[in-house]
Structure 1
């Protein structure tokens, strides 16, 4: 099944990353504040260009076991604001995992919440997933607030579950079932 892109919800649009996104993408992916709680280190411009080249033509959704990054763009002018991730589990492709990265300039304005909402709509609508999960470092309080405001339920606190930036960190796992999504609509 293929997702229909782009999709728009209010002020944001999810679409493929494009070569024209490179300056903005490279800038926020190189920002240590943005990378702080992410699984990536700050990007170089060459890494950003290679990443966009791979993702610009990636299948939507990616093959189970692979990650897909979609652009989060301003619905009015198509300016890149950040990106979001979707991963279908290899062992059970009816379960997906999501993630989100937003440039510092656009944080705290409700745009990430709109992007998560649209990503969940794709997961439960077009893809008809059974369950969607999201993991976050427990110290990433803005992400904790985002996931909870988007209606995901905290299911677990995993102690020293991830090795990031040279240290073990605790993670929260959040989730939503397709039936819970449907009941909210």
Structure 2
């Protein structure tokens, strides 16, 4: 299947999902430590295969109000190491929300920051978005650190606003405006 979407960074390719991604996707989405702060529970291989098949043909961006996953692959090998998500707001598609998931073996190497910077450039420079947000669990220290490191501002702290995996949880909301994005 020809790729319909591609963002290249020095070490990564953000691209549409491919059927060859199922094994790698299933492996990291099955890891309890990866699912801990996500809205989903660990995936089975069958769930991963269905998800990749469904995402492989999706347009990026998806229609407003619809999430789409974007594969994060190593530029040198095309090996899937994670994914990011993008959802344009249903009521104002010049605003979007992003998310990111990286396989444990690839964390701590700057890949998540590189992927987000590539996605930000696409969202602001190509799609012309006005604003991006990211929502994270306050206990997700790595995500909090990541979002700050890529220039997002913490705009809100919602206390016990979400029933999440059997308990009330706190969330931070981070944001970045197009005018704040450094054009290179």
TM-score bin (small chain): over 0.9
Q: CA deviation at 1:84?
A: 0.2
Q: CA deviation at 1:53?
A: 0.8
Q: CA deviation at 1:8?
A: 0.9
Aligned to 2:25: 25
Q: Secondary structure at 1:108's aligned position in 2? A: coil
Q: CA deviation at 1:5?
A: 2.2
Aligned to 1:46: 46
Which stretch has the larger CA shift, 46-55 or 158-167?
A: 158-167
Q: Which ranges in structure 1 are unaligned for 5 or more consecutive residues?
A: none
Aligned to 1:140: 140
Does the CA contact (< 8 Å) of 2:151 and 2:176 recur in 1?
A: yes
TM-score, reference length from structure 2: 0.96
Which stretch has the larger CA shift, 6-15 or 99-108?
A: 6-15
Give the Cα–Cα distance (whole angstroms) in 1 for the partners of residues 164 and 49 of structure 2: 23
Which stretch has the larger CA shift, 64-73 or 153-162?
A: 153-162
Residues 123-156 of structure 1 show CA distances to partners (whole Å, capped at 9, x for unaligned) of 1011100000000000000000100000000001
Q: Secondary structure at 2:128's aligned position in 1? A: coil
Aligned residues: 182
Which stretch has the larger CA shift, 156-165 or 29-38?
A: 156-165
Taking only aligned residues, the RMSD between alpha carbons, in angstroms, comes to 1.3
Q: CA deviation at 1:163?
A: 2.1
Give the Cα–Cα distance (whole angstroms) in 2 for the partners of residues 162 and 113 of structure 1: 26
Q: CA deviation at 1:32?
A: 0.3
Aligned to 1:164: 164
Q: CA deviation at 1:12?
A: 1.1
Give the Cα–Cα distance (whole angstroms) in 2 for the partners of residues 52 and 164 of structure 1: 25
Q: How does 1:104-115 map to 2 (within 5 A)?
A: 104-115=104-115
Does the CA contact (< 8 Å) of 2:95 and 2:131 recur in 1?
A: yes
Q: CA deviation at 1:161?
A: 2.0
TM-score, reference length from structure 1: 0.95
Q: CA deviation at 1:167?
A: 1.4
Q: Which ranges in structure 2 are unaligned for 5 or more consecutive residues?
A: none
Q: How does 1:11-160 map to 2 (within 5 A)?
A: 11-160=11-160
